[in-house]
Amino acid sequence: MKLEFSRRASRRALALVAAVSTAFLIGIAVAAAPGPTSNGEFYYYRDAAGKVIGYRAIKCDGTYVSWGKTSANYSNGYMLCDPDI
């Protein structure tokens, strides 16, 4: 038994797969809590009551530090890093 798809059905299937894949990738990007991306940057994550529940940072030397949980409620900043002399 041989299954044959018309070109129109193949295009629809391909478009459906592309749409589902795109929606999945957008969902992952939106769901992820932001975090540090460069040396000296830090994030404090808070719960609804404002209590700190997590921390993520990249130290000035490039070491990654983290503890606790992430959330959509956060504050961030930058450490003062001395330049290499």
Strands laid side by side in the 64-68 sheet: 64-68, 52-58, 41-46, 74-78
Q: Say if residue 43 is in the same domain as residue 63.
A: yes
Q: Say if residue 16 is in the same domain as residue 46.
A: no
Q: Say if residue 39 is in the same domain as residue 71.
A: yes
Q: What is the total count of domains within the chain?
A: 2
Q: Say if residue 65 is in the same domain as residue 80.
A: yes
pTM above 0.95, yes or no: no
Nearest to 44 by CA among 55, 53, 59, 33: 55
pLDDT in tens, the chain (85 residues): 566 667 776 677 666 666 666 666 555 545 567 889 999 999 999 999 999 999 999 999 999 999 999 999 999 999 999 887 6
Q: Say if residue 25 is in the same domain as residue 2.
A: yes
Q: Give the phi and the psi of residue 30 in degrees, each rounded to 5.
A: -75, -35
Domain range enclosing 24: 1-32
| Dist. CA 6–CA 53, nearest whole Å | 55
